[in-house]
Structure 1
């Protein structure tokens, strides 16, 4: 029975159920796209005699399959403009070459598809509907042969290009990225600032996909998004049960946007902290000021390395002294009272922040510094060690 279920599972659907909104988006887009393509084909054709063929007949049947890919799965590497345009065109060229040289239909059919697939793979333009283009050339050889190689450019290339133009516009209007998104290149980081988040470059992701033979099914950009989502999900479950509210500091030292840097430097020296939150008159959080921000702003090239804080305090004598709003970091990672500890670790491990503000509807209610985080991790570690020891004592 177990084997039977395994067989049924293997033969069952391999794709999860799509959302109704996405189904409607893709289906409506396919219909609109193909209809507009027909209209554009009519506009691009030269006036035909009354007894001439209907321009609509210049559409190729495999275009329906291309439509399915471009509108329903626009993130697939098989649906990208290069794959579709080059794949369809080169397959048509191969098909025409075959019917020009091979006169046995049964041989021409298999040969056209085989050579078309080989050409697509060599050009890195794998597009499944294109195999149908080459086969269609053989099946309609009597009609295509008089047109010769021009058939590959009109209607095949023309049809594909027009459809792809519609697909680009429709997908972007409906919130999908097309053409294919490329992975974001990570900027260089100093040693020790990599954090827990893995840094994967585009070539690394491509190499992984090629090694697993998945490069035809998923692109490097989408793999980067999957890794990011998986990392975020793992961070949320790390140290389950421990949240920001349990470890954050509530006794806060804050600064105002108009506070001079000399006063902020004095607060750093007095309270022995490295980051101070900036809170506006309305009580809303506005940003963070760190010691690094102060040093970067006020330290001059000829300053000596000793006594930086003292020099910052003396800088208050200057008339045009900068204030907190001039140097604070406005775009920072924040948390809520229920943010899991794993997410906080991720934010602080990135290296760009020394503390994470905890907000409640934009108002500052606490702050988690690296010291708070280390204390929480140490407590969790000691608890993990003491639990087996206590259990052993109880058994004795």
Structure 2
């Protein structure tokens, strides 16, 4: 159930499943070998299995059942002896994990669950811009220590969740500010067949960092900047990158992740047919956020 329903749980990772089941079964068989009272052996096996899984960082709830099976499994387990934890327990666990890997690959889910750290795109030691304000990783550690509880979620996932909560709260508090309200409407663009020199001239003449690229039907095809134009090419079509897009009715503050990831300098506002309606740059969003903040402070001051 854990493997297929909640694959991001620390309790459902490959080592937890294989290691937890195998170690617990080994504990159960060992206890049964030395303690012949089934009642005492059952309780002792489960307790020791939990301790062993915790020590080896392979905690997996069904491991308790594996330990009990080692004690109460009957003649089949007794005859298998110390082979039982490996065949069938470890073998079946490996098969189960393999099926889980295939299932999640087909369903395009991340398994095994690996936290992808938010790196500084500029290759420096500074933390990414999105993590420099608000709470810090040490705040998460302090909160977990203060609660003194165990949670079925990875510590890094808690941080990701809280940052998403911060973003959603920001978007909600400014939900009336839409992309159409702050976007530039006179957008400079080039066609796919424009030469690199033509695109470079547009970027420099207009002092902009990104140039939307449109196809023959005036639909957005990509974007190009000076960085892309450093690569040899006859036309911009050969070096253009994927353009970030949003609709005019998208809350403007929801563009914060895209415009603070260190890669994107602008988001192209398009209609349902991918025709360009406008453009929002980092400067546009920063100016809008500053105006909103000033207005909020003025409103609070007036109320006070």
Q: Tell me the TM-score normalized by structure 2.
A: 0.78
Residue aligning to 2:250 = 339
* 2:114 is the counterpart of 1:182: yes
Bigger shift: 82-91 or 265-274? 265-274
Distance 1:125 1:240 in 2: 44
Residue aligning to 1:59 = none
* Superposed counterparts of 1:381-392, under 5 Å: 381-384=293-296, 386-387=298-299
Per-residue deviation, 1:126: 1.3
* 2:200 is the counterpart of 1:289: no
Residue aligning to 2:181 = 246
Deviations 1:224-246 (A, max 9, x none): 66356435523532522111111
Distance 1:241 1:183 in 2: 33
Deviations 1:140-160 (A, max 9, x none): 456543432122223333343
* 2:257 is the counterpart of 1:367: no
* Superposed counterparts of 1:64-103, under 5 Å: 68-103=1-36
Q: 2:199 aligns with which of 258, 261, 264?
A: 264
Residue aligning to 1:377 = 289
Q: 2:128 aligns with which of 174, 189, 194?
A: 194
* SS of alignment partner, residue 226 of structure 1: helix
- Residues 288, 235 of structure 1: alpha-carbon distance in 2 compared, 3 angstrom cutoff: farther
Residue aligning to 1:352 = 263
Deviations 1:101-138 (A, max 9, x none): 22333432332222222222222121222222222333
Per-residue deviation, 1:333: 1.7
Residue aligning to 2:212 = 277
Distance 2:159 2:114 in 1: 9
Instruction: Tell me how large the CA RMSD over aligned residues is.
Output: 3.7
Q: 1:128 aligns with which of 61, 72, 75?
A: 61
Residue aligning to 2:49 = 116
Per-residue deviation, 1:186: 3.6
Distance 1:227 1:333 in 2: 24
Paired residues, number: 297
Distance 1:128 1:160 in 2: 13
* SS of alignment partner, residue 292 of structure 2: helix
Q: 2:154 aligns with which of 211, 214, 219?
A: 219
Bigger shift: 148-157 or 383-392? 383-392
8 Å CA contact retained: 2:183, 2:278: yes
**Which consecutive unaligned segments of at least 5 residues does structure 1 have?**
1-67, 299-320
Distance 2:110 2:301 in 1: 58
Per-residue deviation, 1:180: 2.8
Q: Tell me the TM-score normalized by structure 1.
A: 0.62
* SS of alignment partner, residue 130 of structure 2: coil
Q: Which has the larger radius of gyration?
A: 1
Per-residue deviation, 1:184: 1.6
Per-residue deviation, 1:206: 10
8 Å CA contact retained: 1:197, 1:231: no
**Which consecutive unaligned segments of at least 5 residues does structure 2 have?**
none
8 Å CA contact retained: 1:182, 1:220: no
